A and B are shown apart, each in its own frame.
Chain A
Amino acid sequence: MKKISVVFLAMVLAMGMAMAQKTAWLTQSGTSNSATITQNALVSGDATAIYADQSGNSNSLVSSQSGKSNYVKLTEEGSSNVASMQQFALNNGTSNLGYTNTADVTQSGSSNNVSLTQKENGSGTDYSNNTAHATQSGSSNTFNLTQGSANGMSINASYLVQSGNSNVSGIGQYGLTNYSEISQNNIGNGLGNGNYASLNQVNPTLFPNSTLSASSWDISNSWQDGGQNNILAISQTGISVLQKATSDQDGYNNKTTINQVSMNEQDVISTQRGTDDNIIVSQSN
């Protein structure tokens, strides 16, 4: 009887697990196409996934996902494409395990724009695991990313590669641990000019106790290679036991600004190779 009960219970659980998925596949080719995708699993707690592929010019994607774990994969080829994506992970109030937002974005062309928000659903001391991978190749592209919320305790990671000239990125990470990699270059043409990258890493301020501080850190690695008139601005603020910013610029007339505010360890490794470059570092409690 017990064996039958166990098997029966496993069947019911397996059916429930197999059902928990909302998936949308989108392929658009041409010009001036638009797509709006909304996935709302706040009640059911399902996982959500979007796979979008747009080729052509002036295409747009607007997506919103609310579920236990959210995934979006966007591939756009062409120019003047716009993507606005939001991911809201459910939370259980006690742990960040399993409550994830993940985004993989690839754009090739010029004048493309990506705006991505990844955070927990709710406010206060909620948790979420946020990861963003983005690659933009071309010129005059823009990438804006917000991970976590001001008083949340998220784990954030972002990996951005922009290849070309006059690209702009703005990244805000708000959580217990923040990790960022930014690479702006122009591998194909040898020069990457007029690129701008800003990074803001902030820890939660609601409960600045030693336990929370011990599990908190901010790390930034940034590269702007082979060009001129590039600007890099990094800010790390909060309670983390370690703030570490590493930057590397190659070319001339490049500028780096790093600002760290913390009671604990602060590390800066900044390298510039070229002429008429400028570095400003500020470290304070």
Chain B
Amino acid sequence: MIKKILYTLFVLFLFFLYSIMEDSAAGRLKGNLTFGHKTSENKQTRASPADTSQYSIQITGPSNVVTINGKIVQSTPDTTDKKNSIRVSGEGNRVSIIQTDHSSEVTVSQKGSHNQVHISQK
């Protein structure tokens, strides 16, 4: 009985290690951010090259739209702690974040007027 429990725990531990590796691999995928009305590549200012899912973004100007969801965040396994940071200044900016990680952390700073933030952590 004890052997079975230990075997189960060992399998869970291996799954945890796999999840970390998978997260790093998924993090190498580059997501798309939309600036104004055109889509451009992720403009990361301090992103770790090994894991772009831990992003840090700084944007200045009016009417920017920053959407971070889908591939990068949602495809990340539920086992890695995320510490994301976004800074936006200007007017009419909109930041939308959806995180489905088991444990997640996000920081959003906005300066200006008529800005919107939507954060969903599930």
Q: In the complex, which residues 1-32 of chain B have their Cβ closer than 8 Å to any Cβ of chain A?
A: 2, 6, 9-10, 12-13, 16
- Asked if B48 CB lies within 8 Å of chain A CBs, one says no
| Contact A21 to B105, CB < 8 A, known contacts A27-B110, A30-B111, A32-B113 | yes
| Contact A35 to B117, CB < 8 A, known contacts A22-B103, A27-B110 | yes
Min CB–CB distance B118 → chain A (angstroms)? 5
Nearest residue in A to B110 (C-beta to C-beta)?
A28
Is A28 within 8 A of B115, CB to CB?
Answer: yes
| Contact A46 to B113, CB < 8 A, known contacts A22-B121, A27-B108, A36-B118 | no
Which 4 residue pairs spanning A and B have beta carbons closest together? A25-B107, A19-B103, A35-B117, A22-B121
- Asked if A8 CB lies within 8 Å of chain B CBs, one says yes
Nearest residue in A to B80 (C-beta to C-beta)?
A19
- Asked if A11 CB lies within 8 Å of chain B CBs, one says yes
Interchain CA distance A29-B113 in the complex, whole Å: 8
Nearest residue in A to B81 (C-beta to C-beta)?
A19
- B119 neighbours in A (Cβ, 8 Å): 24, 26, 35-38
- Asked if B109 CB lies within 8 Å of chain A CBs, one says yes
Is A5 within 8 A of B6, CB to CB?
Answer: yes
| Contact A26 to B108, CB < 8 A, known contacts A15-B16, A37-B119, A38-B120 | yes
| Contact A35 to B116, CB < 8 A, known contacts A9-B9, A28-B110 | yes
A interface residues with partner B (beta carbon < 8 Å):
5, 8-9, 11-12, 15, 18-41, 44, 46, 48, 56
Is A25 within 8 A of B108, CB to CB?
Answer: yes
Report which of A12, A22, A30, A37 forms a contact with B113, defined as CB distance below 8 A: A30
- Asked if B102 CB lies within 8 Å of chain A CBs, one says yes
- B108 neighbours in A (Cβ, 8 Å): 24-27
| Contact A33 to B103, CB < 8 A, known contacts A8-B9, A19-B79, A24-B121 | no
With A8-B9, A9-B9, A40-B121 given, name 5 new contacts (CB 8 A): A8-B10, A25-B105, A27-B107, A28-B117, A39-B121
- Asked if B114 CB lies within 8 Å of chain A CBs, one says yes
Min CB–CB distance A106 → chain B (angstroms)? 19
8 contacts between A and B (CB under 8 A): A27-B110, A30-B110, A30-B111, A31-B113, A32-B114, A35-B118, A36-B117, A37-B118
Nearest residue in B to A20 (C-beta to C-beta)?
B103
Min CB–CB distance B85 → chain A (angstroms)? 8
- Asked if B38 CB lies within 8 Å of chain A CBs, one says no
Contact string against A for B residues 83-112, beta-carbon threshold 8 Å, 1 for contact and 0 otherwise? 000000000000000010011111111111
- B79 neighbours in A (Cβ, 8 Å): 19
Nearest residue in B to A42 (C-beta to C-beta)?
B122
Report which of B6, B9, B107, B115 forms a contact with A33, defined as CB distance below 8 A: B115
Interchain CA distance A12-B122 in the complex, whole Å: 22
Interchain CA distance A12-B78 in the complex, whole Å: 15
Is A12 within 8 A of B103, CB to CB?
Answer: no
- A24 neighbours in B (Cβ, 8 Å): 105-108, 119, 121
- B9 neighbours in A (Cβ, 8 Å): 8-9, 12
